[in-house]
Amino acid sequence: MSPKSPLTMLITGGARGIGRGLVRHFVQSGHRVFTLDSDLEELQNTVSLALKQWIPEAESRDRNSGIKPLTRFAALTVDLKDRGAIIDAVGSVAQFCGENGKLDVLINNAMPGPHTWSDGRVMEDADAAIMVEWDEKVQVGLTAPFQLSRLCVPLLKVDEDEPSVPNPQLNPEEGGDGVQETSKEAERDPATMTNTKTKQKPGCIINISSTRAHQSEPDHEAYSAVKAGLLGLTQSLSISLGQRHNIRVNAIIPGWIHVGNENRKADAEKKQWVDGLTREDMNWHPAGRVGKVEDIIKTVEFLIESEFVTGEEIRVDGGVGRRMVYPE
């Protein structure tokens, strides 16, 4: 995607894993990224990578292309269980958006692990730990995306008061009758069907769900409920925010995306993507391999650029969800 028109993006859970890959890609590509994460140590490592590698790469390209240097990256430690902290964080995001106050993309990616219940628990255990974990997963994985989407609407929408491109048919000075209604000709002519949003496009929201919204192994009730909830939230937001502000909202449904190389420890050990994966892991996928962060990046780019796609769910699982499994 062209760095000539840098996008301003908010990505949650950018300290490690898929989120870190998204942050790296979009910063390196010349876009402006704000990320939120609760893991201080991982986030510090990501900030250090951004300052030492990703930003200098993007800035050297800017210098060569004559683009004005921008504040390219900001990171904040925020626990997405904390509604007050989310409100403060969106205030910082608004400052990051700068003078025009425009956010182009919100990616709701953060989710506490593991996907199963922690410490080998099962849902019928007698103690209260299961309910504490349920609350945390629902708060971070579902409530926070809703709250962030809600609070970011003023940043994602295009200001209705912004002056529109002059339209001669509606302008008495140019020979029109000044009536603020669209004439039959105007309705037929796409050039006159522009509205006050001609100058800027509204932003979009991308929610990261999971194939576990539809398919299960034992013992991940909270994770599945959150990820299925995100799909309901996506379709509902796409209508409410689309109707009022033309904000598009889509979901990505990843299958197995191997991120064993996307964290601080793996950096220190110089781990490669393939480390820890077997031939069997690869062959289990009809596409012939396990998923990579790049597979999610490509889907995010597709959704950002596809102005006629909203309310959709895109499965990125190498075909595993289509596989019929019988007992051997």
Ligand X SMILES: NC(=O)c1ccc[n+]([C@@H]2O[C@H](COP(=O)([O-])OP(=O)(O)OC[C@H]3O[C@@H](n4cnc5c(N)ncnc54)[C@H](O)[C@@H]3O)[C@@H](O)[C@H]2O)c1
Of the two residues 103 and 208, which places its CB atom closer to ligand X in the complex?
208
In the list 110, 151, 206, 247, the residue contacting ligand X (rule: CB under 6 A) is 110
E strands present in 198-305: 204-208, 248-254
Based on the shown chain and the rule CB under 6 A, indicate whether residue 17 belongs to the binding site for ligand X: yes
CB of 253 to ligand X, least distance (A): 8
Based on the shown chain and the rule CB under 6 A, indicate whether residue 156 belongs to the binding site for ligand X: no
Backbone angles phi, psi at 44, to 5 degrees: -60, -40
Angstrom distance (rounded) from CA 315 to CA 182? 40
Based on the shown chain and the rule CB under 6 A, indicate whether residue 109 belongs to the binding site for ligand X: yes
Based on the shown chain and the rule CB under 6 A, indicate whether residue 112 belongs to the binding site for ligand X: yes
In the list 15, 89, 241, 300, the residue contacting ligand X (rule: CB under 6 A) is 15
CB of 28 to ligand X, least distance (A): 18
Angstrom distance (rounded) from CA 22 to CA 34? 11
From the list 27-35, 79-87, 213-221, 279-287, the region that binds ligand X by CB under 6 A is 79-87
Does 223 qualify as catalytic in the annotation?
yes
CB of 12 to ligand X, least distance (A): 6
In the list 106, 237, 259, 314, the residue contacting ligand X (rule: CB under 6 A) is 259
Angstrom distance (rounded) from CA 251 to CA 300? 9
In the list 6, 13, 202, 203, the residue contacting ligand X (rule: CB under 6 A) is 13
Query: Given strand 73-77, what is the order of strands in its sheet?
Result: 73-77, 32-37, 8-12, 105-108, 204-208, 248-254, 313-316
> Tokens for 132?
């504490």
The identity of residue 79, as a single letter, is D
Of 210-239, binders to ligand X (CB under 6 A) are 210
Angstrom distance (rounded) from CA 268 to CA 271? 8
Based on the shown chain and the rule CB under 6 A, indicate whether residue 39 belongs to the binding site for ligand X: yes
Dihedral sign for Cα atoms in the order 143, 154, 84, 264: positive
In the list 57, 79, 301, 312, the residue contacting ligand X (rule: CB under 6 A) is 79
In the list 7, 10, 11, 19, the residue contacting ligand X (rule: CB under 6 A) is 19
User: From its phi and psi, is residue 11 left (phi > 0), alpha (psi between -120 and 50) or beta?
Assistant: beta
Of the two residues 81 and 201, which places its CB atom closer to ligand X in the complex?
81
Q: Which pairs with CB-CB distance under 8 Å and at least 24 residues apart come from 282-285?
A: 284/320, 285/255, 285/256, 285/317, 285/318, 285/319, 285/320
Angstrom distance (rounded) from CA 121 to CA 130? 7
Of the two residues 16 and 157, which places its CB atom closer to ligand X in the complex?
16
Q: Catalytic: which of 223, 229, 238, 317?
A: 223
From the list 3-11, 190-198, 253-261, 276-284, the region that binds ligand X by CB under 6 A is 253-261
Residues in contact with ligand X by CB under 6 A are 13, 15-19, 37-39, 42, 78-81, 109-113, 140, 208, 210, 254, 256-257, 259
Catalytic residue set = 223
